[in-house]
Amino acid sequence: MEFDDIRAFVAVAEARSVSRAARELYLTQPAVTRRVQRLERALGVALCDRRRRPFALTEAGQAVLERCRRVLHAVRDIRSASDGDALAAREIRIGVAHALTEVTLTEPVDRVRRAFPRVSLCLSTGWSRDLLERVRARALDGAIVLLPDSERLPAGLAATRLGQENLVVVGPRRGRPGPLGLAALSDVGWILNPEGCAARALLQRTLLAANVRMRVAVETYTYELQLALVARERGLGLVPARILARSPLRSRLRVRRIPGLDFPLTIWAVRGRATPDLEPVFGALDRALIERLGGARRR
């Protein structure tokens, strides 16, 4: 069995997609598929359930995955020890919630790279709950996530509170500026992130509690596109106040205050408790993010 085959299988399992794993490994999809198949032949078991959609591992695949991760960790430790500086040689895998990528992927990461020039930060995006599960499964070393204040973090994770995310309901500036009630929202289309977004789920629960159906007109990951569609009177949006504050479209938009719609969300930095050697890097990233979020609120 080959090390590259093990690495390919872990990448596919963690990405839950051959195509995403291929991009992460800088390989073609057929090359990744061949490596996984070669590992299956070497072990004599099927690791991926090819009959199921979306992607899933077989029972044997689940058991093999954890052992393959241990192999990768062991190889990484050997390389670190031979280099003479365990921290400097580490690759640190950090997940970032979709809504926070523009905060996390710029100055904070640059500052950490300058402070630890030989540390490799491997970043990936996803929904907050999925990222938490990946940290618990040790597929990620840590994550920057966004959760409702009412939601508790999973047990077994260390966490640092980085700040508060203020979400606002936005509508077009043109039109009647008066207050909206929850009942009036039954006829409103929403322009939102796709399913999996914590803010969208919170909005849906609030509307359901008021016996109001949430009608999604458009779903897209891109906040600027959401705001452009709101400005064109396609519906209401739900976006971070910091995004709205610096949007070139803000003069065409209006924050709509709706009694009963309150979205307290907290930004957390989380990591597994068994990573004390990574604390200097995580500490530097936490401080940079806190400063970045404070600056974003002041602008």
> Is the distance from CB of 31 to CB of 22 less than 8 angstroms?
yes
Distances (CA, A) of 210 to 171, 183, 185: 21, 8, 10
Per-residue pLDDT reduced to its tens digit, 24-71: 787 888 999 999 999 999 999 999 988 877 778 999 998 999 888 888
Can you tell me which residue has the tokens 């959760």? 147
Domain boundary among 39, 68, 83: 83
* CATH number, domain with residue 4: 1.10.10.10
Per-residue pLDDT at 84 exceeds 50: no
270 within a domain of the structure (yes/no): no
| CATH number, residue 247 | 3.40.190.290
Nearest to 11 by CA among 98, 140, 112: 140
Domain that holds residue 50: 1-83
Domain assignment present for residue 13? The answer is yes
User: What band does 122 get if pLDDT is binned at 50, 70 and 90?
Assistant: confident
Cα(54)–Cα(157) distance, rounded to whole angstroms?
A: 28
Q: Please determine, for residue 73, whether its predicted confidence score (pLDDT) is greater than 80.
A: no
Number of domains in the chain: 2
- Indicate whether 295 pLDDT > 90: no
192 in a structural domain: yes
**Alpha-carbon gap, residue 274 to 269, rounded angstroms:** 15
- For residue 184, is it within any domain? yes
Q: Is residue 4 part of a domain?
A: yes
Tell me which of 30, 61, 83 is where a domain ends: 83
**Model confidence pLDDT, tens digit, residues 255-285:** 988 887 877 789 999 998 766 777 888 888 8
* 169 belongs to a structural domain: yes
Regarding predicted confidence, which is higher, 141 or 176?
141
Instruction: Let me know how long the chain is.
Output: 299
Q: What is the pLDDT of residue 47?
A: 93
Overall pTM surpassing 0.75 (yes/no): no
Confidence label for 298 from pLDDT (cuts 50, 70 and 90) = very low
Round to whole Å and give the CA distance between 289 and 281. 12
Quote the CA–CA distance of 232 and 282 in Å, as a whole number. Answer: 42
Question: Domain end: 29, 57, 83, which one?
Answer: 83
Q: Quote the CA–CA distance of 95 and 137 in Å, as a whole number.
A: 13
| Residue 119 within a domain | no
Q: Is residue 143 part of a domain?
A: no
CA 214, CA 67: separation in Å to the nearest integer? 44
